[in-house]
């Protein structure tokens, strides 16, 4: 096939690897795929190998049962099966949070589960209730009670699911009594006389947990569950970044992803003589303009990466310089020469030549690009190669 031509800029492509199963050596599996790419002239120094977190976790056999989660929740919050569990700010997701909710509800099968949703959207942009609901119902903005038949009947505009109704039914199925309401005030969950609280939002969980614990000590976050490295299945992220796996098990986020990335980097250098960077990536960080969903249901874009990605992408504002030089009467050849010269100079971030250039983390850019290419459907490309992003 040969090398891609130099006139191409940043390039990326997905690589099919076949099915990865529990117990597979993910380093060896990635290396085999990269070796094939290299044989076709498609691997160079400074390429970025992006490995989907799901295949890493699967190779690690990083699965826990819902019963194991329920048992841990009872122990950590000192709950009985007849206890009253509070869950605050969960996301509205069938593959992300529904399996977790099933596990949490199993902790109190003879008790109650109170769920507090934020509104009108969850922390990743899923719409849960109509805009302006509080004004529409002339209710106190601090808390909007939910009644499936009267108060809030809202179907997600993309999935067609009434998540409030769905979550209530899940609690009922596990034997508990559901109580659901909407409020953006984190302290409102405490008004419901819960025995323990689990903070379930993704990106602000530490801040919300800190607030809750100022008034109520028996509280943890999803990150505090399934994070014990003495167990066979665990993750530094706990239950953050999980996905459904089967009726009985949940897939955790990959553990020790930094070490995995380093091993793959070393293997490629040793076997192919190429110095690449490696990232174990999850959801990309971008907002869908039509749904306002942020996509980032994982706690981070990068669960772990090699050191070469621990930088920020900056550069001169190309279009600004073209406009400026054109206005000065410069010709095409001189403009192109000047821009290449300006690229080599160092500017402070507030210089006009950097105007509008956000210094984003390279690992987030690479992960978001890889996620857009691999997607979450049936592309079957858990390895994405990104070229020339680091030049």
Q: Within this chain, do residues 242 and 267 fall inside the same structural domain, yes or no? A: no
Same domain for 222 and 303, yes or no, is: no
Mean pLDDT for the stretch of residues 320-336? 69
Same domain, 109 and 191: yes
The pLDDT tens digits of the residues spanning 223-262 come to: 999 999 999 999 999 999 999 888 899 999 999 999 999 9
The answer to whether residue 1 is domain-embedded is: no
Residue 6 domain flag: no
Question: Are residues 222 and 348 both part of a single domain?
Answer: no
With H, G, I as helix, E, B as strand and everything else as coil, classify residue 347: coil
Peptide bond into 332 cis (omega under 30): no
Helix (H, G, I), strand (E, B) or coil at 159: coil
- Domain of residue 326: give its range: 318-354
Q: Would you call 279 helix, strand, or coil by DSSP?
A: strand
Is residue 2 situated within a structural domain?
Answer: no
Backbone angles phi, psi at 367, to 5 degrees: -65, -40
Both 370 and 383 in a single domain? yes
- Whole-angstrom Cα distance, residue 87 to residue 66? 16
For residues 49 and 80, membership in a common domain is answered with no
Which among 209, 229, 250 is the end of a domain?
Answer: 250
Residue 263 lies in a domain: yes
The answer on pLDDT for 334 being more than 50 is yes
- 124-177 pLDDT, tens digit per residue, is 999 888 877 766 655 555 777 776 445 567 788 788 888 999 999 999 999 999
Are 124 and 166 members of one domain? yes
How many beta carbons lie within 10 A of that of residue 323, not counting itself? 11
CB burial of 196-222 (b: ≥16 within 10 Å; e: otherwise) equals bbbbbbbbebeebbebbeeeeeebbbb
Cβ-contact 343, 316 below 8 angstroms: yes
CB 186 within 8 A of CB 175: no
118 found inside a domain:
yes
- The CATH number assigned to the domain holding 282 equals 3.30.1330.100
Task: Judge if 283 and 325 occupy the same domain.
Answer: no
d(CA 34, CA 17) in angstroms, rounded, equals 10
- Which pLDDT tens digit goes with each residue over 48-73? 999 999 999 999 999 999 999 999 99
- Domain assignment present for residue 287? The answer is yes
68 and 57 within one domain: no
Query: Where is the domain boundary, 198, 233, 250?
Result: 250
Residue 197 in this model has a pLDDT that exceeds 80: yes
**Length in residues, the chain:** 391
What is the Cα Rg of the chain in Å?
A: 24
Q: How far is CA 384 from CA 48, 74, 342, in A?
A: 8, 41, 31
Helices within 60-204 (DSSP H only): 66-77, 98-106, 133-137, 163-173
Which among 231, 250, 269 is the end of a domain? 250
Answer yes or no: are the C-beta atoms of 155 and 161 closer than 8 Å.
Answer: yes
Q: CA 361 to CA 6: how far, in whole Å?
A: 25
**Which residue in this structure is represented by tokens 């706990």?**
238
Q: Is residue 128 part of a domain?
A: yes
Q: Are 242 and 113 found together in one domain? A: yes
d(CA 325, CA 328) in angstroms, rounded, equals: 5
The string of pLDDT tens digits covering residues 252-310 is 999 999 999 999 999 999 999 999 999 999 998 888 888 888 888 999 999 999 999 99
- Whether residue 311 contacts residue 365, with contact meaning beta carbons closer than 8 Å, is answered with no
Query: Which DSSP state fits 391?
Result: -
Residues 37 and 110 in one domain: no
Asked if residue 30 is part of any domain, the answer here is: yes
End-to-end Cα, the chain, rounded Å: 23
The count of structural domains within the chain is 3
Residues 236 and 343 in one domain: no
Task: State the Cα angle at 30 between 26 and 35, rounded to 5°.
Answer: 145
pLDDT in tens, 71-80: 999 999 999 9
C-beta of residue 120 within 8 angstroms of C-beta of residue 129: yes
- Could you give the CA distance from residue 287 to residue 353 in angstroms, rounded to a whole number? 27
List the one residue out of 27, 25, 36 whose CA is nearest residue 13: 36
**Residue 304: CB partners within 8 Å, gap ≥ 6?**
254, 256, 257, 258, 259, 260, 261, 279, 280
């Amino acid at each position: 096939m040969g090398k891609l031509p130099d006139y191409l800029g940043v390039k990326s492509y997905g690589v099919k690897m076949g099915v990865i199963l529990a117990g597979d050596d993910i380093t060896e599996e990635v290396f085999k795929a990269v070796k094939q790419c290299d044989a076709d002239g498609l691997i160079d120094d400074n390429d970025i190998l992006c490995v989907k977190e799901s295949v890493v976790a699967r190779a690690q056999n990083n699965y826990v049962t819902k019963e194991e989660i329920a048992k841990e929740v009872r122990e950590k919050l000192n709950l009985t099966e007849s206890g009253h569990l509070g869950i605050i700010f969960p996301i509205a997701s069938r593959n992300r949070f529904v399996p977790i909710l099933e596990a949490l509800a199993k902790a109190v099968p003879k008790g109650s589960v109170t769920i507090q949703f934020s509104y009108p959207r969850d922390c990743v942009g899923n719409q849960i209730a109509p805009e302006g609901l509080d004004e529409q119902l002339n209710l106190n903005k601090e808390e909007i009670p939910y009644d499936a038949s009267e108060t809030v009947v809202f179907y997600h505009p993309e999935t067609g699911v009434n998540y409030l109704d769905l979550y209530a039914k899940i609690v009922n199925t596990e034997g508990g009594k559901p109580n659901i309401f909407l409020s953006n005030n984190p302290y409102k969950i405490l008004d419901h006389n819960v025995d323990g609280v689990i903070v379930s939002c993704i990106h602000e969980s530490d801040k919300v947990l800190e607030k809750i614990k100022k008034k109520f000590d028996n509280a943890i976050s999803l990150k505090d569950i399934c994070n014990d490295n003495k167990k066979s299945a665990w993750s530094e992220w706990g239950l953050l970044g999980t996905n459904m796996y089967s009726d009985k098990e949940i897939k955790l986020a990959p553990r020790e992803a930094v070490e995995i990335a380093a091993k793959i980097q070393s293997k490629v250098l040793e076997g192919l003589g190429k110095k690449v960077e490696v990232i174990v990536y999850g959801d990309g960080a971008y907002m869908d303009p039509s749904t306002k969903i942020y996509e980032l249901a994982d706690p981070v874009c990068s669960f772990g990466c090699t050191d070469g990605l621990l930088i920020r992408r900056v550069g001169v504002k190309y279009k600004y310089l073209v406009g400026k030089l054109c206005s000065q009467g410069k010709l095409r050849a001189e403009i192109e020469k000047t821009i290449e010269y300006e690229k080599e100079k160092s500017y402070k971030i507030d210089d006009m030549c950097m105007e509008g250039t956000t210094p984003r983390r390279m690992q987030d850019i690479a992960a978001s690009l890889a996620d857009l290419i691999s997607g979450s459907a049936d592309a079957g490309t858990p390895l994405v190669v990104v070229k020339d992003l680091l030049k």
